[in-house]
């Protein structure tokens, strides 16, 4: 069966629409001058050298990684066992979690930020910890979905019962049987959470802006000074997200190939 | 004093009582089957025995010890689930070794026990396979081995074979019975398949809607059903009212109970001295492989008759036939 021509045209248009900005950004980050010509006047790695030579950039990158990583790790350690317990042993509480999840979507970032500033600015708690707390709540939807679906897939309840009948305590059964079987699922949720937090700008800028420069705030400032360096940042950021996505896809695929019944 | 006793067990789910004051007792080394239709509470009773479900009232004793409030992991009871519930992240070997590792047994002992068990359940060569690489029958054998290797005091089996096809099921029934005999394992099997129950058990409890309908040896239950439920559930008993049986066998004075049961294969064409005689028209002939089933209609009452298939004995639809039956094969029901 032959596809009509306009199919190709539509697909081409969409691809163009999506990739031209990325391509342009990529080229701009390598361009020496690109003002009056269709193609850049020359190519250089200079912008990247400047970028990675800037201590502020490296520090901002480090902070961003640290912030996203700690919120994700905290989410992993606290939420996975909690969701496990609720799904298996207190299913009535699931409604409560679902309500929390809706609330994370319902509140615009700016309002959350203002609310948090009002609530915590007078307290002794550093704003950066408040940010971690807000991030922790923000990734609840991803952690909940991932964990719950994995538990469903492996029939966690009967695995727990089988392990208990063989003499394992609930804790041992959870760590030796459940965790290894939901690992790929929770890795995917964590990577997803991590990349979302890594790109977050509104909350961290409003809550901790001046004292805690992240990659996003750094990028924002560079936009005003050098478009080339800003482009280089975007390219680096894009690469990182690509790597994370590849890992997510790989893990998901290997899970489908193996595991389960 | 029996090895396992279940005393006055009651259980409700959402105000619906599913077990009504049950009392059961199993001897050491006995193979007992809980038989009943789906939803009658078999699994619930088994799970109460395992400690996975808590009863509202009642006492459970195993080996003389009250275990009613003992956690499942400390009851020394093994359980095999219908869904196998093998650990997908572990090989056959690791699955079987799991229970022994929980007992902190030494590595060489574990390896020895595991390999002997793999031999017993005929899974040699599959040690390193993962559950997903095995067939249903093989998976269920792993599940069986995983429970047996820990040498539980009681082995519980919840419809372990019902997800398998007929041939494999027959083979596994044999394996199950021979393993049970060899290890002298006190075993409780739950099933809704009366043939399976007859084939493997020393004793059967028939459950109906959370009550015990009858208890006894397979042969006794089969030949002496105590009530209508059992008669209908076991085999294809003809269940007849007093009026029907009187019309069929023209001998009213004999029949004082309200209901009677007659096994289809209890009828024969040879004369029986002290028996009953029925004559009627042959209808609905059904050749079922090694047996032939048909109905005899007499006095407006139809009864099902079965006998072994004989090629030289051609039955004709609407043919008149006289059959005989022993008096004790007409069983009064309560
Ligand atoms: N966890 C449960 N919650 C509510 N009702 C249940 C639960 N488990 C079993 N039941 C009910 O109890 C009755 C007996 O169930 P079950 O013991 O599984 O029957 P069987 O194993 O004989 O098929 C059924 O009516 C079933 O719906
Ligand atoms: Mg059941």
Q: pLDDT (tens digit, 9 = 90+) per residue, B252-270? A: 677 888 899 999 999 988 8
- Judged on CB neighbours under 10 Å (0-12, 13-18, 19+), B274 is exposed
Question: What is the predicted pLDDT for the residue at A260?
Answer: 40
Partners of B322 in the beta sheet? Answer: B279
- Is the model's pLDDT at A187 over the cut of 70? yes
**Could you tell me the pLDDT band of residue A72, with boundaries at 50, 70 and 90?**
very high
Q: Is B138 on the interface with A (CB under 8 A)?
A: no
- Is the model's pLDDT at B329 over the cut of 70? yes
**Could you tell me the pLDDT band of residue B225, with boundaries at 50, 70 and 90?**
very high
Question: What is the predicted pLDDT for the residue at B81?
Answer: 93
d(CA B279, CA B296): 8
Query: Least CA distance to A177: which residue of chain B?
Result: B87
Residue A68 counted as domain residue: yes
Q: Is B129 on the interface with A (CB under 8 A)?
A: no
**Could you tell me the pLDDT band of residue A171, with boundaries at 50, 70 and 90?**
very high
Question: What is the predicted pLDDT for the residue at A1?
Answer: 62
Summarised one tens digit per residue, pLDDT across range B71-102 is 999 999 999 999 999 999 999 999 999 999 99
Per the CB < 8 A criterion, the answer to whether B18 and B11 are in contact is yes
Q: Across the interface, do A177 and B87 touch by the CB < 8 Å criterion?
A: yes
Per the CB < 8 A criterion, the answer to whether A184 and B119 are in contact is no
Q: Is B14 on the interface with A (CB under 8 A)?
A: no
**Count of CB pairs separated by less than 8 Å, A with B:** 68
- Is the model's pLDDT at A219 over the cut of 50? yes
Most confident listed range (A19-28, A225-234, B108-117): B108-117
- Is the model's pLDDT at B119 over the cut of 90? yes
Residue A140 counted as domain residue: yes
Residues of chain B with pLDDT > 90, as a percent, come to 78
* Protein residue closest via CA to atom 4 of ligand 1: B13
Query: Considering its fold, how many domains does chain A have in total?
Result: 1
d(CA B33, CA B157): 9
pLDDT, mean over chain A: 88
Question: What are the b/e assignments for A128-165, b being 16+ CB within 10 Å?
Answer: bebbbbbbbbbbbbbbbebbbebbebbbbeebbbbbbb
**Could you tell me the pLDDT band of residue A123, with boundaries at 50, 70 and 90?**
confident
* Protein residue closest via CA to atom 18 of ligand 1: B43
| B108 three-class SS | helix
pTM of the model: 0.85
- Judged on CB neighbours under 10 Å (0-12, 13-18, 19+), A95 is exposed
Q: CB of B44 closer than 6 A to ligand 1?
A: yes
* Protein residue closest via CA to atom 14 of ligand 1: B41
- Is the model's pLDDT at A2 over the cut of 90? no
Residue A123 counted as domain residue: yes
Residues near ligand 2 ion, CB 5 Å cutoff: B 43
- Is the model's pLDDT at B145 over the cut of 70? yes
| A151 three-class SS | helix
Query: Least CA distance to A158: which residue of chain B?
Result: B85
d(CA B303, CA B307): 13
- Is the model's pLDDT at A201 over the cut of 60? yes
| More confident: B165 or B205 | B205
Full domain range(s) for residue A127: 54-225
Measure CB to CB from residue A158 to each of B71, B83, B130 and give the nearest one: B83
Question: What is the predicted pLDDT for the residue at B63?
Answer: 94
Q: What is the mean pLDDT of residues B166-195?
A: 93
Give the number of other CB atoms < 10 A from CB of residue B183.
14
Question: What is the predicted pLDDT for the residue at B197?
Answer: 95
- Is the model's pLDDT at A210 over the cut of 90? no
Residue A34 counted as domain residue: no
Query: Least CA distance to A162: which residue of chain B?
Result: B85
Residue A258 counted as domain residue: no
Question: What is the predicted pLDDT for the residue at A257?
Answer: 43
Per the CB < 8 A criterion, the answer to whether A207 and A134 are in contact is yes
**What is the best residue among B13, B20, B160, B206 to mutate for testing ligand 1's pocket, by most ligand atoms within 8 Å of CB?**
B13
**What is the best residue among B14, B35, B41 to mutate for testing ligand 1's pocket, by most ligand atoms within 8 Å of CB?**
B41
Per the CB < 8 A criterion, the answer to whether B22 and B6 are in contact is yes
Question: What is the predicted pLDDT for the residue at B252?
Answer: 65
What does each C-alpha distance from A121 to A108, A135, B190, B250 come to in angstroms? 20, 17, 64, 100
- Is the model's pLDDT at A99 over the cut of 80? yes
Give the number of other CB atoms < 10 A from CB of residue B291.
13
Q: Is B105 on the interface with A (CB under 8 A)?
A: no
In the numeric block, the tokens 């006794």 are attached to B220
Residues of chain A with pLDDT > 90, as a percent, come to 44
Nearest Cα residue to A186 out of A87, A252, A100: A252
Per the CB < 8 A criterion, the answer to whether B29 and B201 are in contact is no
Residue A33 counted as domain residue: no
What spacing in Å lies between the alpha carbon of B189 and ligand 2's midpoint? Answer: 11
Residue A141 counted as domain residue: yes
Q: Is B50 on the interface with A (CB under 8 A)?
A: yes
d(CA B136, CA B166): 12
Residue A192 counted as domain residue: yes
- Is the model's pLDDT at B242 over the cut of 80? yes
Q: Which CATH number is A101's domain given? A: 1.10.3720.10
């Amino acid at each position: 069966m032959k596809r009509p021509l306009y199919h190709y045209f539509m697909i081409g248009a969409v691809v163009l629409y999506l990739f031209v900005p990325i391509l342009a950004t990529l080229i701009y980050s390598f361009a020496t001058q690109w003002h009056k010509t269709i193609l850049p006047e020359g190519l250089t790695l200079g912008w990247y050298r400047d970028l990675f030579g800037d201590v502020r950039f490296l520090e901002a990158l480090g902070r961003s990684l640290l912030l996203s990583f700690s919120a994700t790790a905290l989410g992993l350690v606290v939420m996975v066992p909690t969701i496990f317990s609720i799904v298996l042993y207190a299913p009535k509480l699931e409604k409560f979690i679902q309500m929390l999840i809706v609330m994370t979507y319902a509140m615009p970032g700016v309002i959350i930020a203002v609310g948090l500033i009002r609530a915590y600015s007078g307290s002794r708690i550093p704003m950066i910890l408040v940010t971690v707390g807000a991030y922790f709540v923000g990734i609840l939807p991803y952690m909940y979905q991932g964990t719950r679906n994995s538990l469903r897939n492996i029939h966690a309840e009967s695995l727990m019962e089988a392990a208990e009948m063989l003499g394992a305590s609930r804790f041992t059964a959870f760590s030796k049987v459940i965790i290894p079987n939901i690992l790929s699922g929770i890795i995917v949720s964590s990577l997803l959470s991590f990349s979302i937090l890594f790109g977050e700008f509104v909350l961290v800028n409003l809550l901790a802006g001046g004292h805690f420069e992240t990659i996003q705030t750094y990028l924002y400032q560079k936009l005003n000074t050098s478009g080339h360096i800003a482009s280089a940042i975007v390219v680096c950021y894009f690469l990182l997200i690509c790597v994370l996505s590849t890992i997510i896809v790989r893990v998901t695929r290997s899970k489908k190939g193996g595991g389960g019944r | 004093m029996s090895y396992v006793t279940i005393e006055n067990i009651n259980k409700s789910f959402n105000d619906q009582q599913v077990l009504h004051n049950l009392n059961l007792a199993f001897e050491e080394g006995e193979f007992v089957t809980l038989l009943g239709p789906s939803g009658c509470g078999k699994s619930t009773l088994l799970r109460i025995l395992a400690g996975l479900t808590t009863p509202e009232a009642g006492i459970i004793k195993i080996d003389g010890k009250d275990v009613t409030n003992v956690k499942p992991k400390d009851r020394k009871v093994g359980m095999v689930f219908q869904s196998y519930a093998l650990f997908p992240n572990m090989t056959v070997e690791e699955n079987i070794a799991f229970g022994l590792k929980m007992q902190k047994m030494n590595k060489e002992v574990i390896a020895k026990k595991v390999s002997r068990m793999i031999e017993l359940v005929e899974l040699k060569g599959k040690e390193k396979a993962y559950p997903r690489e095995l067939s249903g029958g093989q998976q269920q054998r792993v599940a069986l081995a995983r429970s047996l290797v820990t040498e539980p005091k009681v082995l519980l089996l919840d419809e372990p074979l019902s997800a398998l096809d007929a041939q494999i099921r027959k083979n596994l029934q044999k394996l199950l019975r021979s393993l049970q005999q060899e290890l002298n394992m006190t075993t409780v099997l739950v099933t809704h398949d009366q043939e399976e129950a007859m084939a493997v058990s020393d004793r059967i409890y028939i459950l109906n809607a959370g009550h015990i309908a009858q208890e006894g040896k397979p042969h006794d239950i089969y030949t002496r059903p105590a009530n209508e439920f059992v008669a209908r559930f076991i085999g294809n008993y003809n269940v007849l009212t007093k009026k029907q049986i009187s019309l069929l066998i023209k001998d009213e004075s004999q029949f004082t109970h309200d209901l009677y049961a007659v096994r289809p294969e209890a009828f024969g064409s040879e004369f029986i001295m002290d028996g009953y005689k029925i004559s009627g028209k042959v209808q609905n002939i059904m050749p079922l492989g090694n047996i032939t089933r048909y109905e005899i209609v007499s006095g407006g009452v139809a009864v099902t008759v079965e006998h072994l298939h004989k090629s030289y004995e051609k039955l004709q639809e609407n043919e008149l036939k006289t059959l005989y039956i022993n008096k004790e094969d007409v069983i009064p029901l309560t």
